[in-house]
Amino acid sequence: MPGPLRGRDLLSIKDLSREEIELVLDTARIMKTRYYSGERIIPVLKGKTVALIFEKPSTRTRVSMEVAVAQLGGYPLYLRRDELQLARGEPIKDTARVLSRYVDAIAARVYSHKSLEELAAYSSVPVINMLSDLEHPLQALADVLTIKEKKGSVKGVKIVYVGDARNNVAHSLMLAVAKLGGHIVLASPKELRPREDILQAAIQAANESGGLVELIEDPFEAVKGADVVYTDVWVSMGEEAQAEEKRRLLKNYQVNEKLMSLANNNAIFMHCLPAHRGEEVTEEVIEGPWSVVWDQAENRLHAQKAVLALILSD
């Protein structure tokens, strides 16, 4: 029988149950173990093509997704928006229906989550969110994979996200940690708290899993006793017009040695990258003993291979 994710879209962490997230993480660990044993090609997607649509530039997402599809024996078809008729005004629904006739899945990195939802509504093949303004589920899956590797579990672990808690990374991380029974604290100015509907979904998930979701404005209070300290850039792509205001709001939310000293002795530092050293994080932290950002970045590959295999493999 096909697995529970076979043929499904993945637009949000909300699309996954706790058991399905655990299945992705277990599969990712198997993929990673086989990768390091020298088995670089596991041809479960042999003969299949995945269209990769990029409206935004990318390093980790593009490379990890192309390599993931290739290492599963499939063909990754990279498509920039300006190479498609989308750039000349073709409706998303037309693009979705045409691509569905050619490929086995569509993964998209878009500015607007609404574009992703329309793509999924009109596509007859699975659609995977590689990033939208609302969520970044593939990043969150790599994040919780990393936390499990470093801390043994997500359940009961205190994870503190410092900075803009209204962004896509914070939203998906909050949902994933809440579903897995972790303690997620979002340290941000009140103006940059998570979107209310996503916050409520996370609180409900935490109530069901035994986890906890907290909002704390003071970053120094928030990180006390933290097992994981996480941050992201203050100004995301497409937010350039808000840059000055966001930097003003977040000037006291830098992750530095003073902040890390309040976390647990064995705390780790995480960042989804790219990092703006000297802004949201200092050089001493990202290059220091706390940092696991390179392991975290690598885990994008293994988590995405798991997602692709579970959605597309026979």
Active-site residue numbers?
109, 136, 139, 232, 272, 300
Strand order in the sheet with 127-131: 75-80, 49-54, 105-109, 127-131
Q: What's the CA gap between 30 and 34, in Å, rounded?
A: 6
Q: Residue count of the chain, please give it.
A: 314
Strand order in the sheet with 158-162: 212-216, 183-187, 158-162, 228-231, 268-271
